Structure 1
Amino acid sequence: MAELAVLYDRIRPDEKMLFEALDALGTPYDKVYVPHLKLTFDDAGAAAVPWRVAIERCVSQTRGHAVTRALEGFGVQVINPGHVIELCGDKLATNARLHAAGLPTPRTGVSFDGDAALEQIESLGYPLVLKPTVGSWGRMVSRLNDRDAAEAVIEHKEVLGGPQHGVFYVQELVNKPGRDIRAFVIGGECIGAIYRTSEHWITNTARGATASNCEVTPELADLAVRSAAAVDGRIVAIDLVEDPQRRGGWGGLLVIEINHTMEFKNSVSTTGVDIPRRMGEYAIGLLEKAPAGQAV
């Protein structure tokens, strides 16, 4: 068995591209299908874990976080670590960390009761976006243009019930130029970025947005790298929007969220950057930092 592993629960185009990049790099690695993985916390279980570095690529955030935390118990350095998954997998936690680091985000509020949420929404002003704190691909994101829309969405969340619907996370709807930006950061370097353009207000390629190359300006690179550092991200994608009404050290750029298991299949040909190869090189570099047989 190899000292490098790729952890996955579904093989998407992104994982195929990563496998091809690692094959080309020539470093042995194991493809670990996480649903079939069994780990036991004893000496025999430790002996059955040969990896020193692993790249976590699970589609299921819950599964990816669980296997990461388990392997960290055996001294495996997982990219990204468990605490990064916890931060990036929760939009509220991400925003709180960005705020603490002094980095720009849209005006954001959180409340924990329907009546309090409506009061806060009215105070922040319309239009707003209400988001689940955990989720991806623009699912269950609601645009609130007025009080009627706010009351309807709040009522739906209260009727649905459950702990996740008891948190009301809202952000201002930024008047962006019909696009957002995804910047890729690996090992503290912004290696490329794309625009995601759509006629819909949700600019996500999973929802039909088209990708085009975005020049990595000094402002964009600096903000992307600082955002990754704020959550201790090793391989992450930073989603940003441009606000023409704002000025400041980053030229009106605002950070929306950070993705810990980033998708890149639409970005390699667009940017001209071999993102999966750069991911593989970073992981192999971690292996080379420690002698064989020792945890990184």
Structure 2
Amino acid sequence: MIDACPLGPARILLITGRIDRHARELIKAFGNVGAEVHTAGLAEIGFDTGSASGLAIPHFGGSLPDAVCVRTMDAGSFEQVTRRLGVLHALTRLAVLVSNDARAIENCVDKSMTSFLLARAGLPSPRSYAVESRTEAARILAGEDGPMVLKPLFGAQGKGLKLLGTADDLPAAEEIAGGVYYLQRFAGVETAGRWSDVRILVSAGRAVASMRRQAASWITNVKQGAEPLPMPPEGDLEALAVAATEAVGGDFCGVDLLRDAAGRAQIIEVNSMPAWTGLKKATGCDLAAIRARDLLARVESRRAAGASRPLSAAE
């Protein structure tokens, strides 16, 4: 059984693989809004069926946090990642506010599921395929009129992307990460020797920051050398970013979009654990403060409704 205790400062568990710039900004931001924040990696949180909650969480003894803020997840074996996501699922089942929760993270980490959910929601996104056969991937490429982008299913930061014109461009089967061919129609447009797209950060159902990323290459990730630039508000893109975040079940996401050769907006990817160094440079916004305020507002709303905090029976 999990009992309740009197309300006090909101207790936040920040999930992060390491204390990097983003983690330090979040620790400061949560402190500035009066929360008590502790950090841990998911690898440090154990299952313990003998405890009241069934979990063993560093810094919390037998109690539970008011909210979990997921900044990053470390890479690991299939078994390790499955167990770590299981921890997030368990926290949600224990009525702890988890942001983003395991479901949203799973929907975004797997690009094929992201594409599926965007299509099911009727949102504009380049046609995408995910198959496990090189023969089938070659058939798909042969049936397309233009180039396609081959992406690692679980990739990030623009790593491992390949632009394919024909089936002859397909890498050897042993070079395909995880044995999955995720193919997405290429929608980028080159203008005066430059390529660009847009990153919009969505928090609590609204677009809070936008930037244009410009690069000499069709790969426009800031980590790959793209320049983050300020941009005026574009209401249609912001609305699509909010809708895309809702489609994957997220509440804090970075959404990548662009306009194709016909000027139509296209959603390219949704990131459930977005970095914001480029956005901060382009906008000057304190995005960690926005993240902390929005999450704390949800905590306070839940606490006002329930007027209690979940704690173990031992307390």
Task: Please indicate, yes or no, whether the TM-score normalized by the shorter chain is above 0.5.
Answer: yes
Instruction: Quote the residue 2:69 is aligned against.
Output: 55
Q: Distance in 1 between matches of 2:281 and 2:157?
A: 21
User: Which string of whole-angstrom CA distances, capped at 9 and with x for unpartnered residues, describes residues 94-114 of structure 1?
Assistant: 000000010001122333311
User: Which string of whole-angstrom CA distances, capped at 9 and with x for unpartnered residues, describes residues 60-95 of structure 1?
Assistant: 263763431232243321101111011011110000
Deviates more, 1:41-50 or 1:209-218: 41-50
TM (normalized to structure 1)? 0.88
Structure showing the higher strand proportion among its residues: 2
The equivalent position to 2:135 in structure 1, one of 109, 115, 119, is: 115
> 1:43: Cα distance to partner?
3.5
After superposition, the CA RMSD in angstroms is 2.2
Instruction: Quote the residue 2:165 is aligned against.
Output: 145
Instruction: Quote the residue 2:308 is aligned against.
Output: 292
Which residue identity is paired with 2:163? R
The equivalent position to 2:97 in structure 1, one of 77, 100, 106, is: 77
Q: Distance in 2 between matches of 1:122 and 1:148?
A: 10
The equivalent position to 1:88 in structure 2, one of 85, 99, 108, is: 108
Q: Distance in 2 between matches of 1:132 and 1:245?
A: 27
Q: 1:229 to 1:161 in 2, by over 3 A?
A: closer
Task: Indicate the SS of the match to 1:267.
Answer: helix
Q: Distance in 2 between matches of 1:146 and 1:98?
A: 26
TM (normalized to structure 2)? 0.83
Instruction: Quote the residue 1:171 is aligned against.
Output: 184
Q: Distance in 1 between matches of 2:254 and 2:70?
A: 14
Q: Distance in 2 between matches of 1:96 and 1:147?
A: 24
> 1:294: Cα distance to partner?
4.4
User: Which string of whole-angstrom CA distances, capped at 9 and with x for unpartnered residues, describes residues 135-172 of structure 1?
Assistant: 1112221111334213xx1xx2x23578x21x222112
Q: 1:219 to 1:2 in 2, by over 3 A?
A: closer
Unpaired segments ≥5 residues, structure 1 = 247-251
Unpaired segments ≥5 residues, structure 2 = 1-8, 55-60, 76-80
The equivalent position to 1:159 in structure 2, one of 174, 179, 200, is: 174
Q: Distance in 2 between matches of 1:16 and 1:203?
A: 26
> 1:45: Cα distance to partner?
4.6
Task: Indicate the SS of the match to 1:200.
Answer: coil
The equivalent position to 1:208 in structure 2, one of 219, 222, 225, is: 225
Which residue identity is paired with 2:72? C
Matched, 1:219 2:244: no
The equivalent position to 1:281 in structure 2, one of 293, 299, 305, is: 293
Superposition misfits of 4+ residues, deviation over 6 angstroms: none
Which residue identity is paired with 1:173? F
Question: Does the CA contact (< 8 Å) of 2:42 and 2:73 recur in 1?
Answer: no
Instruction: Quote the residue 2:58 is aligned against.
Output: none
Which residue identity is paired with 1:149? D
The count of aligned residue pairs is 283
The equivalent position to 1:259 in structure 2, one of 253, 256, 271, is: 271
Q: Distance in 2 between matches of 1:187 and 1:233?
A: 9
